[in-house]
Amino acid sequence: MQSFGELSAIFREKFETRHFPANPESLYEPHPASVTLSGLRVAFPPGAFLQATEDGEDALVQAVQEALAGSSSIADLFAGLGTFALAIRAAYAAEASRDAAAALKRAAPALHLEHRDLYRRPLDAKELKPFEGVILDPPRAGAAEQVAQLALSAVARVAYVSCNPATFGRDARTLADGGYRLDWVQPVGQFRWSTHVELAARFSR
């Protein structure tokens, strides 16, 4: 006879993991969810990310536009659904989420978009050569691998949007050691009643 623990393990394998996935996904959408970004309707797939507030998003978009003003060719790395790529008319975007990348590509077919995991395959200095400006908007883990390549590149300006001051500080140190100057940092408090803060910063060389 099987023990209770063994039966529980069988139940979890055959029932829980197959019928209750960790990330719920919609099975039927009579009217597919979408969001409007920079005047374009973008599909909103399960698990996609948006800024917490419209005012906060506007403040971050304006900061990125200011940081990269005058840049002729811009790459948006960790692009998500295109909050910054669409607003600033980026020439290139990279996003690890297949669903988010597909939604952005459908909304902006002319955008050169790559489904790419920048933690495993960051753009190297050669791939970064065509760009005068780069947008970084990574998850809370930061962008250590990509920042290391930026530090070796000739990119003139970097607009860094972060939701984690600790990993931002780590990455800022790498950029500074690579010859970048931190021009300014703008905090954006869009998480009420919490200690979390978003920020935007400009680096230049």
d(CA 23, CA 47): 7
Q: Phi and psi (nearest 5°) for 63?
A: -65, -40
Any catalytic annotation for residue 119? no
Tell me the residue ranges of DSSP E strands in the chain: 34-37, 40-43, 74-77, 92-95, 112-115, 133-136, 157-162, 181-188, 198-204
* 205 contacts 181 by C-beta, under 8 angstroms: yes
d(CA 177, CA 144): 13
* 78 contacts 139 by C-beta, under 8 angstroms: yes
d(CA 116, CA 16): 31
Question: Which among 75, 88, 72, 113 is positioned nearest to 38, based on CA atoms?
Answer: 88
User: Active-site residue among 163, 172, 175, 200?
Assistant: 163
DSSP summary character for residue 135: E
Residues noted as catalytic: 163
